[in-house]
Structure 1
Amino acid sequence: MKIIVIGATGRVGSNVVEKLSKSHKDEVYAAARHPEKVPVHDNVTPFKLDLSDHMDDIKEALPEADAIIFAAGSGGRDLLKIDLHGAVKTMEAAEEKGINRFIMLSSKGSLSPDEFGNSPLENYLIAKYYADEWLIHNTHLDYTILQPTALVEKSGSGKVTLGSYSTNENSIDNVADVLIGLTENHAGAKEVIEMSTGNEPIPDAISDLN
């Protein structure tokens, strides 16, 4: 499977690329503003992608692929330009390029705007809300939106809850495994999936989505 990872040098994206680099069945295209920072692997091809560029430039940069995992973000520094507009331009480019499968890493509560005012991440959630809404209502992409709780730097347990929340955190390791599982198994299509650390092995949790 040919998979594009957008945000390949970020906290989640780099973990996804590292895991996919060990796969014998996947060909990985790692998109980053600084592709030279992507570790070298036999099945990983880094390429330059700047989400602040024009949509046509993003489309030109995208290689032919079966799926996109969108794990990019500005870290709160440029929410409108990157987290919202950059995501939307990538969706438009994917459609024009014929890359139909689009897995979006989002956040808990991103589609619950009435609750934004109670969150310290209000501006981030607003950006994610409009990006997710665009993906659902303004594209024909075969999307999955993953909504994890808070991301933490812990070793992955390999066990999660999908479809509801049982804890307030997710290891980045687990999130990367779930993103890969959703992509490789074509699971959760046209769904918004809540995620937290839980008690179900990741392969079983993903299988239950189908």
Structure 2
Amino acid sequence: MKIFIAGGSGRVATDLIKDLVADGHEIIAGARHPENIIKDDNVTAVRLDLHASAEEIAKIIGRVSAVYFVAGSRGNDLLRTDAFGAVKVMQATKKNQIKRFIMLSSLFTLQPDKWNQPGLADLTDYNIAKFFADNYLINDTDLDYTILQASLLTEEPGTGKISFGASKESTNPIADVAETLAGILNHANTIKKVLLMKSGNMPINTALGNVY
């Protein structure tokens, strides 16, 4: 399968690309600095500017079977990257008649009443940006979406075990988030679902298979 990844030079994307290539997929990875995208025979690095129009982004995405949005500005460009950049990638996906869209988001972005929890208060501006992006995907597109709302990302070694249905802020190793994103592609039962992820005791593939 040919897959496009927006935000292809980031920490999550690097592990995600490795996981998808290991599963036999061909990757087109887009980033503002494509030279920072991992080098692999099955990966084509392209320049992607999320300030561009949806039409320009559609030309860069091309004909693929699925699109991942894992881009983020780390608080430096929330409106034009994390919010509207995501929306334009969705619009480009629809324009290219691609149905499958998988987006990395943040825990509780659709539940503003939880944003005052410890560890979340400093992320309010980011959560507002993702609130609008997530809502647009759910309510204003007909894409076969899955939104993975991950907890605080850490660089600890992955455990390969997670759980869904988080009720409070926790942490997720980047490797586990990437493996979960890659696994979502193999589970049609995750379509039209928002998955609240935290570290847990269930193997990732099993947890994904149990989504209903």
What SS does the corresponding residue of 1:75 show, helix, strand or coil?
coil
Do residues 116 (structure 1) and 118 (structure 2) align? no
3-state SS in 1 of match to 2:188: coil
Task: Tell me if structure 1 keeps the 8 A contact 2:93–2:99.
Answer: yes
Paired position in structure 2 for 1:185 = 187
SS at match of 1:121: helix
Does the 8 Å CA contact 2:58/2:95 hold for their aligned counterparts?
yes
Residue of structure 2 equivalent to 1:195? 197
SS at 2:115 equivalent = helix
In the TM superposition, what is the alpha-carbon distance from 1:165 to its structure 2 partner? Answer: 4.8
Is the partner of 1:40 in helix, strand or coil? coil
Tell me by how many angstroms 1:117 deviates.
4.9
Structure 2 segments unaligned to the other structure (5+ residues): none
What per-residue deviation string (whole Å, max 9, x for no partner) do you get for residues 68-100 of structure 1?
111000010000010000000000010011111
What is residue 146 of structure 2 aligned with on the other side? 144
Q: Aligned residues: percent identity? A: 42
Q: State the shift of 1:22 in Å.
A: 2.7
Distance across 1 between alignment mates of 2:143 and 2:204: 25
Higher mean alpha-carbon deviation, 106-115 vs 90-99, is at 106-115
Separation in structure 1 between the aligned mates of residue 188 and residue 27 of structure 2, nearest angstrom: 16
Deviation at 1:151, TM superposition (A): 0.6
**Which secondary structure does the structure 2 equivalent of 1:178 belong to?**
helix
Q: 1:186 to 1:28 in 2, by over 3 A?
A: farther
Task: Give per-residue Cα distances to partners, 1:165-196, cap 9 Å, x unaligned.
Answer: 58711000000000000013334100111100
List gaps (5 residues or longer) in structure 1. Answer: none
Report 1:49-68 matches (<5 A).
Answer: 49-68=48-67
Relative distance call for 1:116 and 1:102 in structure 2 (3 A) is: same
Distance 1:56 1:88 in 2: 12
Match of 2:133 in 1: 131
- 1:35-184 aligned at under 5 Å gives the runs 35-117=34-116, 119-165=121-167, 168-184=170-186
What pairs with 1:10-29 in structure 2 (closer than 5 Å)?
Answer: 10-23=10-23, 25-29=24-28
Give the structure-2-normalised TM-score: 0.93
